[in-house]
Amino acid sequence: MTFKPQIKIPATYMRGGTSKGVFFNLDDLPEVCKVAGAARDAMLLRVIGSPDPYHKQTDGMGGATSSTSKSVILSKSSKIDHDVDYLFGQVSIDKPFVDWSGNCGNLTAAVGSFAIGQGLVDVERIPKNGIATVRIWQENISKTIIAQVPMIDGEVQETGDFELDGVTFPAAEVQVEFMSPVDASEAMFPTGNLVDDLEVPGVGTFKVTMINAGIPTIFLNAEAINYTGIELQTDINSDKKALAMFETIRAYGAIKMGLIDDIEQAADRQHTPKVAFVGQSQDYTSSSAKTINADDIDLNVRALSMGLLHHAMMGTAAVAIGTAAVIPGTLVNLAAGGSERKSVVFGHPSGTLKVGAEAVQDKGDWTVNKVVMSRSARILMKGSVYIPGNVFDHL
């Protein structure tokens, strides 16, 4: 057997929000990977180090969690009034597939700075000092996102004093606006109801709010599944029975939301929908031993990503939380006290997050104009990644 030399691909390793991923400029990819398909997926799997039956991703750039098994491909936008096209791939850790069904709201915070550094944003749109407004076309979900990127002396300002719970060190604040995060052709609430009864064979029947905003999400009440809403990762991720319960709920919820036709299809759509449970505000100690006071938050939310409880909160799920919170009658809104609001502060395993949302009702149907939150981003390493030259031989 002939072993080909490694293939060298320019790449940047970045943190965005509470996630990390490998960022690529589309023009830098091997020719066979410049279009969607098996070759591109094979490349990303090998870069990240999947599939890995050891669940470590030791032979790749992944960190063996849903927050660190991610990839991003950017290109100069083909859309009018946009600067950059952003494609996100959630790489499975132990299975040979890349899920393209949704966005990563956390890594979105790094898209603007990467795009500026790669020359994908026209120079006349970038101030020497101040805020660069980067108009992002999110290809996975066909939505516009606006990133406000701070600039100093013509360079992206990454350092600062903005603190984001779930990230150890402070950095520069990046405001991210998710514009009209629900397709006009789709219903925000796919069943037409703010609250549904979801029957899950072998598990039970639960009150749920199912929403398409940011990312398809299923919300349950914590007490309905014998939780309090202040759980940390260790409370759930070590409980195989609980994880199986959540995955079953997710699968049957996906059917009811119209995302899949058959329960077996859920295994090939791990990234969406998300499952989250909500509880009323109460004191708790975060994963970093920080005391979170009930008076400082409106409610508690815990969410699962790729089969495990997330260590903080996915950015796209935060969009769903913010949207649901400002719509009276949803489980999220009720957990927050049931009042009218324009923003919400929720507790998650690593701390708190504030999200603002503009939602309006017209003839009984709800729409959301935008959802806003602050994140931060930073380049961790820039150079090239390497993959074995025979990675495409089996295709």
Catalytic residue check, 314: yes
Closest CA to 214 of 159, 310, 307, 143: 143
What Cα–Cα distance (Å) separates residue 354 from each residue in 63, 90, 343?
A: 27, 25, 7
Instruction: Sort strands 284-285 and 274-280 into parallel, antiparallel or unpaired.
Output: unpaired
* Catalytic annotation, pick one of 43, 61, 314, 373: 314
Rounded CA separation 88/90 (Å): 7
Q: Are 66 and 306 in contact (CB under 8 A)?
A: yes
**Residues 208, 295: Cα–Cα separation, whole Å:** 26
| Catalytic position from the list 104, 188, 210, 313 | 104
Q: Are 365 and 351 in contact (CB under 8 A)?
A: no
The CA distances from residue 168 to 164, 340, 350, in Å, are: 8, 33, 10
Separation between Cα atoms, residue 71 and residue 41, nearest integer Å: 10
Enzyme catalytic residues: 104, 314
